[in-house]
Amino acid sequence: MELLDACAILRCAYFMRIISEVVDMHHIYNHKAPKKPTNLSVNSDLLTKARDLKINLSATLESALEEQVRLSAREEWLKNNKKAIISLNELVENNGLFSDSYREL
């Protein structure tokens, strides 16, 4: 592999790490966006039990949706970057890491 290719892959890995951190952090959506009334169907028994327990339905749904959006965005990102991840793993497997000589066993 040419040096330029290796540098390009390492730059890609750097940005992949940054993007991955952003996707994993709370920046997945705008928390200050206005609320929007929405109609949805929920199992009546579950709804009754949740209301009896004074569970905040909106907050619970938002939390569950946020987690699902985060997971879906991560899966999509991994799918879109699969080739770069494989290339980087192959590069490291074939050449090691630049810091290997500084490791202490």
Domain ranges for the chain: 3-102
Return the pLDDT at 96: 79
Cα→Cα distances 80→10, 54, 56, 76, 90, Å = 17, 42, 36, 6, 18
Return the pLDDT at 90: 86
The string of pLDDT tens digits covering residues 44-99 is: 999 999 999 999 999 999 999 999 998 998 899 889 888 888 888 888 888 877 77
The string of pLDDT tens digits covering residues 7-21 is: 555 555 655 665 555
Return the pLDDT at 26: 52
Return the pLDDT at 14: 58
Return the pLDDT at 2: 53
The answer to whether 33 and 65 are in contact (CB under 8 A) is no
